[in-house]
Homo-oligomer: A and B are copies of this chain.
Amino acid sequence: MTRPAARLDRIAPFRVMEVLARARSLEAQGRSVIHLEIGEPDFPTADGIVQAGVRALAAGRTSYLPALGLDALREAIAASYPAAHRPDPSRIVVTPGASGALLLALGALVNPGDGVLLSDPGYPCNRHFVRLFEGDPRPVPVGPETNYQASAEQLRSRWTDRTVAALVASPANPTGTMVARGEMARIARTVSALGGALVVDEIYHGLTYGIDAESALALGPDIFVVNSFSKYYGMTGWRIGWLVAPAEYVPALERLAQNLYISVNTPAQYAALAAFEPEVKVELERRRGVFRERRDYLVPALCDLGFGVPASPEGAFYVYADCSRFTDDSEAFAREVLTATGVAITPGIDFGEHAARRHVRFSYANTLENLEEAVRRLKAYLEDRPARP
């Protein structure tokens, strides 16, 4: 066998995939499994978007598009931001999912050995993108005292002369927590004063409950903003997202895009145009209400069971729950819960190192009925199970 590149050893598998494989194996044995491990909305793509995709195919829209994306879509994305901080459409890069946006942004920012600050816990792919480019992902351990988000002060104190960027997600996966507006402004000023780049992951914008998320674009033209049609717009399998980049980076990002993926799936780009239509918006807002209802049920129900949810998840569809009352090994606990109850959850280790063994992630991308059934099963199981001494 030839020698594989060293980076492969530094890219860990998602534990959630093992959970999913075990869950499917239980299902194959006839067991009822409730999937609360999944990071994907449980709604199909809204009909108005699907029909736009069908029309694009019927019209023969099957050729390459420009690497930066369909102009009409770049304009529609730009127009989706409030007028006060609407970016010029030339700053919008349509990407193959938010994954593609992170690939471009970090490919444009990270030299070998460069440090990138990331909250721990956080979305696992972020650190792997940094490693892909031979950079050094530097976790910032965060907990409920900062709403599970890295503060401006934490970023400042951990910045070194090899740090080039900070990546912030609001709302975040796995915690659903947001960075408050004033704190995001402090973060932007801090990172800028340190000469670094700020990348803000806004892929859960739209899926916030009782609060509207303001884009970091409001804080200046130098911030890289990552977004996606996957979550609020419900287009996961289409693989389409976008990056709003500082204007001076766009020519280099275009070259990267041309070389890395040529262009984004064409029917998906035409379909995404429909995502901004008023009748689609009505359906998406209805779904947002459904997610909110589930969150409002699940968080207190988990607390009643003995889980800790000290920072309120204000967006996305996850609850990052402290399970230290039950275990000091959340990976074993998740396995045990799945086997005993058929409820699939994700161990904290998927999201970093910090307090990972004391946390599990519940996704509420599942029906209220299933959430209620999951809570019933957990209640019966946990009541029989001795608490930790």
Contacts and interface: CB of A to CB of B under 8 A. Distances in A.
Interface string A258-273: 1111111111100000
12 contacts: A2-B164, A2-B195, A4-B252, A5-B110, A5-B133, A13-B254, A50-B62, A64-B236, A133-B134, A134-B134, A238-B266, A239-B264
Contacts of A83: none
Given A13-B258, A45-B62, 10 more contacts: A2-B222, A3-B164, A5-B111, A7-B133, A11-B255, A44-B62, A62-B236, A63-B236, A97-B261, A237-B267
Contact of A103 (B64, B165, B235, B260): B260
Interface in A44-67: 44-45, 50, 53-54, 57-58, 60-65
A237 B265 contact: yes
Given A57-B53, A238-B267, A2 B109 contact: yes
Given A2-B195, A107-B132, A259-B125, A54 B64 contact: no
A84 interface: no
A219 to B, nearest CB: 15
Nearest to A99: B261
Given A65-B237, A267-B267, A260 B7 contact: no
A328 to B, nearest CB: 27
Contacts of A62: 44-45, 50, 234-238
A249 interface: yes
B107 A7 contact: yes
A28 interface: no
A261 B264 CA distance: 12
Contacts of A266: 237-238
A7 to B, nearest CB: 7
Contact of A237 (B7, B164, B237, B263): B263
A382 interface: no
A16 to B, nearest CB: 10
A63 B237 contact: yes
A370 B197 CA distance: 49
Given A1-B222, A62-B237, A262 B99 contact: yes
Q: Taking each of A14, A63, A197, A254, which has the highest tally of chain B beta carbons within 10 Å of its own beta carbon?
A: A63
A248 interface: yes
Contacts of A195: 2-3
Interface string A287-303: 00000000000000000
